[in-house]
Amino acid sequence: MNDRTLLSIAAGVGFASLWDFLAWSAPLAMAAMQILGGVLPYAVAAPTGSMQPTVDGGDRLLHDAGVGDVSKGDVIVYTDGETDYAHRAMFHVEAGENWYDRADPDAVGDASGCEELGNCPAPRDGWVTKGDANPEYDQAADRHGIVADEDIEGRVVFVADDEDWPFTAVAA
């Protein structure tokens, strides 16, 4: 696009000069970049291989930065204190809920009831999570507590292999 083309576009939509057009459109372009910066995906590195075979340690995870609701089966990036995790959301619980009866018996370890799990009854509303390669729920293994919605940074949408960078779409 050359100066004459830009000038004709500017004049055609009612601007007296190209500079008037640029002066009018620059603040809008800046605002659009700030808005898009808040909703475009973010990338983090998977710290371990706890999500194998879906995600290997070191893979880059592109997540949606909290846009949209988390559903059962989504791979989510969340923080627990100062550590970031990327595990699968297994099921949602309410504060005070005895979630042992809803749990997969193979994923609660040796526990035979709620009283033997560190996060049961649930201390707050949130998600029970599990790494695909881990035998137990994170909460049953006392890795961390119930994951509240405010601790979730986003849902993983793509995984980039850390060695040769092919992208894999992650679907719930």
> Which pLDDT score, from 0 to 100, does residue 103 have?
94
Please check whether residues 16 and 73 belong to one and the same domain. Answer: no
Distance CA 103, CA 42 (A): 31
CA distances from 160 to 31, 60, 134 (A): 30, 5, 21
pLDDT of residue 54: 80
Buried b vs exposed e over 1-37: b needs ≥16 C-beta within 10 Å? eeeeeeeeebeeeebeebeebeeeeeeeeeeeeeeee
Domain that holds residue 49: 42-169
Q: Quick one: 120 and 94 in the same domain?
A: yes
Residues 34 and 94 in one domain: no
Instruction: Tell me: do 21 and 97 sit in the same domain.
Output: no
Residuewise pLDDT in 10s, the chain (172 residues): 556 665 555 555 566 666 676 666 766 666 665 555 555 456 677 778 888 888 788 778 877 776 678 999 999 988 877 778 889 999 999 999 999 999 999 999 999 999 999 889 999 999 999 999 999 999 998 888 999 999 998 888 888 776 665 555 555 4
HSE-up (13 A, CA, CB side) for residue 104: 12
Do 57 and 30 fall within a single domain? no
Instruction: Indicate the number of domains in the chain.
Output: 2
Q: Are residues 27 and 46 in the same domain?
A: no
**Same structural domain, 108 and 28:** no
> Any idea what the CATH number is for the domain that residue 114 is in?
2.10.109.10
Distance CA 123, CA 103 (A): 16
Query: What pLDDT shows up at residue 105?
Result: 94
Please tell me whether residues 143 and 89 are part of one structural domain.
Answer: yes
Shared domain check, 72 and 149 = yes
Do 13 and 88 sit in the same domain of this protein?
Answer: no
Q: Residue 8: its pLDDT value, please?
A: 57
Q: Which two tokens stand for residue 26?
A: 């620059």
pTM for the complete prediction? Answer: 0.70
Tokens of residue 159, six digits: 């995984």
Instruction: Specify whether 115 is located in the same domain as 46.
Output: yes
Rounded Cα distance, 148 and 51, in Å:
20
pLDDT of residue 115: 92
| Same-domain check for residues 66 and 129 | yes
